[in-house]
Amino acid sequence: MQVGILGGTGPAGKALAARLASSGVDVVIGSRSRERGEQMCQELRDRWPDRDLALLGRENAEAAQADIVVVATPWDAAATTAASVGEHLADKVVISMANALTRLGKEFVPLVPGRGSIAAGVQAAVPAARVAGAFHHLPAHSLGDLDHALESDVLICADHPDAAETTAQLVAKVPGLRPVQAGSLAAAAPIESFTAVLLQVNVRYKTRAAIRLTGLDV
Ligand SMILES: NC(=O)c1ccc[n+]([C@@H]2O[C@H](COP(=O)([O-])OP(=O)(O)OC[C@H]3O[C@@H](n4cnc5c(N)ncnc54)[C@H](OP(=O)(O)O)[C@@H]3O)[C@@H](O)[C@H]2O)c1
């Protein structure tokens, strides 16, 4: 299975790329510039020389030809970036991990995107794709530190049950991550906006907390 990451050169995309690759997944790091994509692959290989990371750096349009595509751009570029490579996304599972947030003074606050969530906006931009929301709550720093053992739930939402299932199978490949089915894309709005709360907690306690639900035996 190959996963392409649009905007994979940022902290979130490169962290996800490294973690998936270290879990045996082939990853294409997408960028608006192939050179930046290749540089990021080299950076990750240099950081983790003892791990055999299956990484390629390409333009977003090539990354979009992977079996599963993750959108890891800033929130306000997620829908347009997906649309720009839309010809490659028909019938594919596309995972949106973007959170629409801003800072008001010292506080992180969620924004309400046009369609209620970024994931819904991506689905509208590429209607032939099957969009799932996932990976919103994983802090890039710990996700990308391959020596750090993860212990976190990943809330997944999608209107298409097979998109949710495929995403769950991908999440389950990563040791320490537990996929949790959290409903349709209607759940994307609270999932995305909750990230503002997590960031607030992380600032308050000077940590990088992720989420783990209790009472869930799956
Ligand atoms: N950082 C985290 O801990 C974290 C955790 C979970 C989820 N997220 C979400 O993941 C997404 C990415 O976060 P990030 O911190 O990695 O973001 P970022 O560094 O701001 O952007 C990621 C990449 O997107 C590309 N990009 C930037 N502006 C663009 C534009 N206008 N159009 C198209 N591509 C553009 C850039 O790659 P090129 O210049 O190479 O094209 C950039 O390296 C965000 O939506 C965020 O909410 C972040």
Long-range Cβ contact pairs of 163-166 (< 8 A, separation 24 or more):
163/93, 163/94, 163/130, 163/131, 163/132, 164/132, 166/68, 166/93, 166/132
Question: Which residues' Cβ are closer than 6 Å to ligand 1?
Answer: 7, 9-13, 31-33, 36, 72-75, 77, 81, 97-99, 135-136, 138-140
Cα–Cα nearest to 134, from 56, 216, 28, 19: 19
Atom of ligand 1 nearest to the CA of 140: 3
**pLDDT tens profile 155-166:** 999 999 999 999
Closest CA to ligand 1's atom 32: 77
Mean pLDDT of 169-178: 98
Compute, in angstroms, the gap from residue 100 CA to the centroid of ligand 1: 11
The predicted pLDDT at position 108 comes to 95
Torsion-angle region of residue 215: left (phi > 0), alpha (psi -120 to 50) or beta?
Answer: left
Amino acid at 6: L
Compute, in angstroms, the gap from residue 70 CA to the centroid of ligand 1: 11
Cα–Cα nearest to 10, from 28, 35, 36: 36
Amino acid at 218: V
Most distant CA pair in the chain: distance in Å? Answer: 46
Atom of ligand 1 nearest to the CA of 81: 33
At 133, list the tokens: 């929301």
At 74, list the tokens: 């800033």
89 CB burial (10 A radius; 0-12, 13-18, 19+)? buried
Task: Set out the domains of the chain in order of their start, with CATH numbers.
Answer: 2-205 (3.40.50.720)
Atom of ligand 1 nearest to the CA of 98: 45
Mutation choice for ligand 1 from 58, 73, 138, 207, CB with most ligand atoms inside 8 A: 73
Atom of ligand 1 nearest to the CA of 75: 45
**pLDDT tens profile 97-156:** 999 999 999 999 999 999 999 999 999 999 999 999 999 999 999 999 999 999 999 999
**With a threshold of 0.95, does the pTM exceed it?**
yes
